[in-house]
Structure 1
Amino acid sequence: MKHKILAYYKHSLEQSTPPAPSQLSDYHWFKTNFQDDWIGILKQEIDESQLELLKACYDFFEPDETLKKEEYTWNQYLYFNGEKPAFKNVETIRFIQFQIKGISVSLEKKLIESAFEGFIDTNSLIIWNGLSEGVVIEQNAQYLEEEDLLALAQALQSDFFFSICFYLGKEMKLSSPIPTIFGQERNLFSKGLAFMPKSNVLSMETILPNLLISRLREDELHLFKEWFSIFDEDKELLLTIKTFIENNGHSTNTAKQLFIHRNTLQYRLDKFTEKTGFDLKNYHSYITTYLACLYYTSGR
C-alpha cells in the first residue's frame, strides 16, 4: 500500500524520522506504522477527500501546540517517536488506551477529562491523539481495575451520550522499548475493536483468542462445527457455557449472572459434556470449548 501511495503522488517523500518544522508548511505527513516510517505528500497534490481517506488509514501528523508541554512531549513520543519525556520519581508505567465513538465535534476534551479525573490517580496523565483517541498513562502501580473502567464507560455514556472502549495494557519498566510496545498494543487494540465492537474493556487476554479464531482456515473451522454443533441448536446452552468459563468455572457467580438455580446450571453443564464429550474439568477441553464459544458468538 505504501509503495502505491508513493508512486501515485509523484512528489511524495519517505523518511525514517519525524518531519522537521521546515517540512510542515508544504507537506502533509503520515506515520504508516508504529515503526519509523514516514510519508510526506505535497499539499498541492492531494484533494480534501483523499486527505480524509489517508487520515483514516494512517496517523496524521498534526502537532497540537495548544497542549501543555508535558502532554505535547508525550504525544510526540508515543505516536510519532519524538524525544523521550523526563521521568521524575517513576519506576513503572502502564497504558490504558481509549477510543471514543459517536463523539460530537463540539464536545470539549476538558469536559471528558473531568469525568476521567473522578476515576484515575492524580499522577496519571491523559494524552490525546486527535478528537476521539488517546491514552491514560498510569505510574508506579497506581492502576485502575477493569471494574473501574466499566464504571467510567457507563458514566461517559450517561453524561455525554457516546460509547468508549478501553484497552488495558501491561505494566512496563522504563528500560522497556516504550514506544514500540505502545504501538504493538495500539495495533492489537484496533483488531479488538473490529472483533469485539460491543466491548467496553479489551486486553491482550480477550483479543488474542478472537484473533486466533479469525485466522483459522474454513476447513479447520469445520472441526468446531462438527464437535460443537449443539451450539447451533441450543443458544441458551452456548450462553451458559461461555458465561461459566468467563467466570473461571465458578458455579455460584455463573448462576447468579444468568439468573438460574445452581441445579439448573449443573444440568446444562452435564448436558454439554454428554452431547460433546468435552469435560470442562479438563484444562485442554476448557480452552478448546472457549474458542468454540467465541467462534459461535462471532457471527462468522
Structure 2
Amino acid sequence: MLITQLQSIYPTLILSKPAEMSHPEDFQWYETPSNETIAISKEELTDKDEQLLSLFLSPLSLESHWGTDRERAWYHYLKEDVHELTIDAPLYYRFVFFSIADLPMNKDSFHEAFQSLFPERMPILFESDDQGFIIEEFFSDQQDMLSFDQMIDVLMSDFYTKIRFYISEISSNIHEAPSLYRWAEHNFRLAGKYQPSSVATYKDTMPFLYIDALPASHQKRIQQTVLHQVIEEPDLLQTVKTFLESGSNATLAAKKLFMHRNSLQYRVDKFIEKTGLDVKQFEGAVITYLALLSIGE
C-alpha cells in the first residue's frame, strides 16, 4: 500500500536493489518499515522531498549497500556495462565466489567481519542476501594468497553458519576478466549443485562439467552399464569413490572412512571382481569415477 501511494507521487520509484541495476548511483535509496528496498530517481527529488521521505523511510548509503568506488568499477566492468576497468588494475587477480547458508547478522555487519579477515581491503560484492563474490587482487609478486580453508573455519566457528567458496584460477590478463568471471560463476553453480567440498577450485569442478553436460538419460545409461552389479550397495560405492579421491591410497582412504585398511582393500577387490573394472589402473579408475559422479551425493 505504501509503495503504491509513493509511486503515484514519484513515478520513477521502483522496488529493487542496487546490485540489480546498472546505474544505482542515479537513484536515492530507502528502506521501508517492512524492510523493502526502494529507489527513486534523484532528478525527481528536491531537498524538501528527501527531508519528508526521511521521516518515515530509512535512507540508505549507496556505499554501504552498493560498495566502494572500486567495487562498483569492478562490477560494471564484469557485467560489461563498460568496456574497460576504470581503476588501476592489479598485477594478478582471481574470483572467489561464496554462499552463506544462514546470514547470522545484517549483511553490512557480516561484510565488515568478512573484510577484516583480509590483510588488505578486497572488493566484496553481494549479489543476493546469501551469495556474492570477492575479487582477490594482487599488486605485487610478494603478496601472499589467502587460505580460504582457514578462513572458512574461522567464519563457521564465529558465526555458526555454513559457508562455501569457489576459487577461480589466477589471471594477469585484465581484458579476459569478464569471461573469466562468467566461467567462474558457472563453476560456482556446479560446485553448489554437486558440492565436492566446502572450498572448491576449478580442479574440483572439472569432472562435473562433463557429467552436468550429459542428458539425464545418458547419465542413467552410464550407471546401468558400468555399475549395475553394485548399484544397490551404497557403502561399497562410497568406499571406492573415497579410494579414488584419495589418489588410490588405501591407507589415506581408510583413515577418511574410519575403517581398517584391510577392510577397505577387501571392498575395493570386491568391486573389481563384481564389475570387472580394475580401479587400481588408470582406465578403470577414470571410467568408474565418472560413473560414480553421475550418481551424485
Q: Same fold, TM exceeding 0.5?
A: yes
The 1:220–1:138 alpha-carbon spacing in structure 2 relative to 1, beyond 3 Å, is closer
Q: Is the 8 A contact 2:230 2:275 kept in 1?
A: no
Letter of the aligned partner of 1:283 in structure 2?
F
Letter of the aligned partner of 1:117 in structure 2?
S
Q: Which residue, out of 108, 124, 127, partners 1:127?
A: 124
Q: Is the 8 A contact 1:231 1:238 kept in 2?
A: yes
The 1:233–1:187 alpha-carbon spacing in structure 2 relative to 1, beyond 3 Å, is closer
Q: Which residue, out of 128, 133, 136, partners 2:134?
A: 136
Taking structure 1 as the reference length, the TM-score comes to: 0.67
Distance of 2:63 and 2:285 partners within structure 1: 51
- Output the aligned Cα RMSD: 3.5
Higher-Rg structure is 2
Q: State the secondary structure of the residue aligned to 2:99.
A: strand
Q: Is the 8 A contact 1:100 1:164 kept in 2?
A: yes
- CA apart distance, 1:293: 1.5
Distance of 1:81 and 1:203 partners within structure 2: 27
The 1:288–1:134 alpha-carbon spacing in structure 2 relative to 1, beyond 3 Å, is same
Q: State the secondary structure of the residue aligned to 1:185.
A: helix
Q: Is the 8 A contact 2:94 2:171 kept in 1?
A: yes
Letter of the aligned partner of 2:165 in structure 1?
F
* Residue of structure 1 in register with 2:186 after alignment: 187
* Residue of structure 1 in register with 2:74 after alignment: 74
The number of residue pairs the alignment matches comes to 242
Q: Is the 8 A contact 1:126 1:134 kept in 2?
A: no
Q: Is the 8 A contact 1:123 1:138 kept in 2?
A: no
The 1:220–1:93 alpha-carbon spacing in structure 2 relative to 1, beyond 3 Å, is closer
User: Is residue 2:271 matched to residue 1:272?
Assistant: yes
Q: Is the 8 A contact 1:73 1:84 kept in 2?
A: yes
Q: Is the 8 A contact 1:75 1:127 kept in 2?
A: no
Identity of aligned residues (%): 27
Letter of the aligned partner of 1:139 in structure 2?
E
- After superposition, give the CA deviation of every residue in 1:86-143 in whole Å (9 maximum; x if it has no partner): 336x322111111222225x5243444434533x4x2361321343332222234632
- CA apart distance, 1:153: 2.7
- CA apart distance, 1:172: 0.7
Distance of 2:224 and 2:79 partners within structure 1: 42
* Residue of structure 2 in register with 1:7 after alignment: none
Q: State the secondary structure of the residue aligned to 1:94.
A: strand
User: What pairs with 1:144-159 in structure 2 (closer than 5 Å)?
Assistant: 144=146, 148-159=147-158
Letter of the aligned partner of 2:101 in structure 1?
K
- CA apart distance, 1:238: 1.0
Taking structure 2 as the reference length, the TM-score comes to: 0.68
Distance of 1:142 and 1:206 partners within structure 2: 22
Q: State the secondary structure of the residue aligned to 2:208.
A: helix
For structure 2, list consecutive stretches of 5 or more residues without a partner in the other structure: 1-10, 24-35, 38-60
User: What pairs with 1:161-240 in structure 2 (closer than 5 Å)?
Assistant: 161-196=160-195, 199-214=197-212, 215-219=214-218, 221-240=220-239
Letter of the aligned partner of 1:166 in structure 2?
F
Q: Is the 8 A contact 1:99 1:133 kept in 2?
A: yes
The 1:29–1:108 alpha-carbon spacing in structure 2 relative to 1, beyond 3 Å, is closer
Letter of the aligned partner of 1:207 in structure 2?
T
Distance of 1:93 and 1:206 partners within structure 2: 20
